[in-house]
């Protein structure tokens, strides 16, 4: 018997399919977020294993960030040219393979190359995953879906250093990279099973002149910052060559962008006040974001002998602060004037950096934990209002390109300030070593009491003199780290008054 009733759509199956897509994309995003912080916990161990200096080992972090920064604006072109499913498959595959190769690296050069591959392959994952989430869910459910999706971004920096620290301490630094391989395989299986192709492919134009000139300018400038202090800056022909290359490439990029009909990055977007200010704020946010988690592991492990597991827990605590900041914004903080919440976030980062700059050589675990947590809370409170202000004046057709520039500027700021603070630490540490060591001589009256006051430090005897030299080195390096934290907090405080230049639409 034929029924005249319309068939009832199977909403339950659709909901399950959407949930599977959301879980897969959250895992994919968490995989990328893990890579951002996972290497930091083992930097001192990698430094010793690969016989690298402090500034050389920073290349592992900075060039991965640069690769991500440059690769992110290409996501739109790759998606239009090859399809979002194919881009996800190849990106996750490349990311997983490069993570495995990072664990097998036998030299610093190899590890930096594999980290560049990891950053480039991971660049399309967050923006593409978020775009698919928005397309999958109806408008009334996008908020809830984005909240779950955002958990991947937040949980990655919590889980990665915590688990990575224990693996590094128990086995070796290579396992912080190997641990991402199973997650990568699980993500790839999810993409193959649940992500479907959508929309026809198109031959979207890519401005190769603008893209390549930007890549060369950013890479040359970053290498100059990373190696400048070690090679004595412009007294070295390599640094001079990098500086000249960066200036020429930047000139080509700017002039080409101003004269081309379809430039790689549209300069007309900078005419919108909030967007231009948002890029400046994003650059400062990038300056502050990764600097503490790059400096703290080396400080704690080199000067205080903290094991990798404890350092991983400290970095994980920072992530819980970020989680609380995101939760606050999700539960109602987004209704507050975004300029006030950004001000509060940058102020918290500045306060955290100020107290970090007051650390003594005998700092306690509690000192590091609460300052790291406070810094993470500031990060969580800045992100949402920063995006609201930046994109408030852009049309829907401009959002994708605007987001590409936004993430490029933010990541570039992160890599630049890591290099600058490490240069400050090395330069001022060396200067203070020279100053402190001037007092180590037999004519110093303090050494009259060396037998009673300096049980292990003395100018007489090779072993005692060596112990004294080690302590001077330790004290000088600590002063260098404190100077880097001063630069961090002053940067955070300096941007606070300018946040109110942004215009906020009154309801």
Distance CA 352, CA 348 (A): 6
What pLDDT tens digit does each residue of the chain (507 aa) get?
A: 444 444 444 445 666 777 778 788 888 887 777 777 777 777 778 877 877 777 777 778 778 878 887 787 777 778 777 877 888 889 889 999 998 998 888 888 888 899 888 888 888 887 787 777 767 766 666 656 666 666 666 677 677 777 777 787 788 888 888 888 888 888 888 888 887 776 555 566 777 888 888 888 888 888 888 777 777 777 788 888 888 998 998 898 888 888 877 777 777 777 888 888 888 888 888 888 878 877 888 788 777 777 777 877 787 788 788 888 877 777 765 677 888 888 989 999 999 989 988 888 888 888 888 888 888 888 888 877 887 788 777 776 667 677 777 877 887 888 888 888 888 888 888 888 788 777 776 666 666 665 555 555 555 666 666 777 777 888 888 888 899 899 999 999 998 888 888 777 655
Q: Are 4 and 130 contacting, i.e. CB atoms less than 8 angstroms apart?
A: no
HEC states along 165-203?
Answer: HHHHHHCCCCHHHHCHHHHHHHHHHHHHHHCCCCCCCCC
Angstrom distances, CA of residue 39 to CA of 150, 233, 302, 311: 22, 27, 16, 12
CB contact set of 65 (below 8 Å; sequence gap of 6+): 36, 119, 290, 411, 412, 414, 415, 418
pLDDT computed for residue 97 by the predictor: 92
Distance CA 322, CA 36 (A): 15
* 61 membership: H or E segment, kind and range: helix 59-71
Does the pTM exceed 0.85?
no
Distance CA 248, CA 254 (A): 10
pLDDT computed for residue 6 by the predictor: 45
pLDDT computed for residue 347 by the predictor: 92
pLDDT computed for residue 8 by the predictor: 42
Helices 125-136 and 84-104 cross at an angle (nearest 10°) of: 150
CB-neighbour burial class of residue 505 (10 A; exposed 0-12, middle 13-18, buried 19+): exposed
Distance CA 70, CA 58 (A): 18
Q: How far apart are the first and last CA of the chain?
A: 58
CB-neighbour burial class of residue 312 (10 A; exposed 0-12, middle 13-18, buried 19+): buried
Q: Are 282 and 275 contacting, i.e. CB atoms less than 8 angstroms apart?
A: no
pLDDT computed for residue 493 by the predictor: 92
Distance CA 220, CA 63 (A): 11
* 16 membership: H or E segment, kind and range: helix 11-38
Q: Which two tokens stand for residue 56?
A: 């050389």
């Amino acid at each position: 018997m034929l029924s005249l009733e319309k068939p009832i759509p199977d909403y339950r199956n659709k909901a399950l399919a959407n949930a599977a897509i959301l879980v897969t994309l959250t895992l994919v995003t968490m995989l990328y977020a893990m890579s951002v912080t996972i290497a930091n916990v083992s930097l001192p161990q990698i430094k010793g294993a690969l016989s690298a200096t402090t500034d050389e080992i920073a290349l592992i972090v900075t060039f991965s960030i640069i690769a991500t920064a440059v690769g992110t604006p290409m996501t739109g072109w790759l998606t239009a040219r090859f399809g979002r499913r194919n881009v996800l498959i190849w990106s996750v595959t490349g990311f997983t393979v490069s993570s495995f190769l990072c664990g097998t690296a036998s030299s610093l050069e190899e590890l930096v190359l594999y980290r560049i591959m990891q950053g480039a392959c991971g660049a399309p994952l967050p923006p593409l995953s978020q775009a698919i989430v928005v397309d999958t869910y109806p408008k009334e459910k996008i908020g809830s879906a984005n909240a779950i999706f955002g958990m991947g971004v937040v949980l990655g920096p919590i889980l990665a250093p915590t688990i990575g620290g224990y693996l590094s301490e128990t086995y070796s630094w290579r396992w912080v990279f190997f641990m991402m391989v199973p997650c990568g395989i699980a993500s790839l299986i999810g993409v193959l099973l649940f992500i479907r192709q959508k929309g026809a492919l198109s031959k979207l134009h890519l401005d190769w002149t603008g893209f390549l000139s930007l890549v060369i300018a950013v890479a040359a400038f970053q290498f100059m910052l990373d190696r400048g202090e070690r090679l004595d800056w412009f007294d070295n022909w390599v640094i001079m060559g990098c500086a000249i290359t960066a200036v020429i490439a930047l000139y080509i990029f700017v002039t080409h962008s101003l004269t081309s009909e379809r430039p790689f990055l549209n300069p007309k977007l900078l005419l919108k006040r909030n967007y231009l200010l948002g890029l400046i704020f994003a650059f400062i946010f990038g300056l502050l974001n990764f600097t503490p988690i790059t400096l703290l592991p080396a400080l704690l492990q080199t000067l205080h002998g903290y094991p990798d597991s404890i350092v991983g827990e400290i970095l994980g605590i920072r992530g819980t602060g970020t989680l609380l900041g995101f939760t606050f914004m999700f539960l109602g903080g987004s209704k507050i004037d975004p300029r006030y919440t950004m001000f509060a976030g940058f102020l918290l980062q500045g306060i955290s950096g100020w107290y970090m700059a007051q650390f003594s050589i005998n700092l306690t675990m509690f000192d590091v934990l609460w300052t790291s947590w406070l810094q993470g809370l500031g990060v969580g409170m800045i992100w949402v209002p920063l995006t609201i202000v930046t994109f408030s004046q852009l049309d829907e057709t401009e959002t994708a390109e605007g987001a590409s520039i936004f993430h490029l500027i933010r990541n570039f700021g992160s890599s630049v300030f890591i290099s600058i603070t490490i240069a400050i630490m090395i330069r001022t540490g060396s200067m203070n070593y020279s100053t402190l060591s001037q007092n180590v001589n037999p004519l110093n009256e303090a050494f009259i009491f060396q037998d009673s006051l300096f049980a292990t430090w003395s100018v007489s005897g090779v072993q005692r003199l060596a112990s004294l030299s080690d302590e001077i080195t330790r004290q000088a390096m600590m002063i260098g780290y404190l100077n880097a934290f001063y630069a961090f907090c002053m940067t955070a405080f300096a941007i606070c008054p300018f946040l109110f230049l942004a215009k906020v639409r009154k309801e």
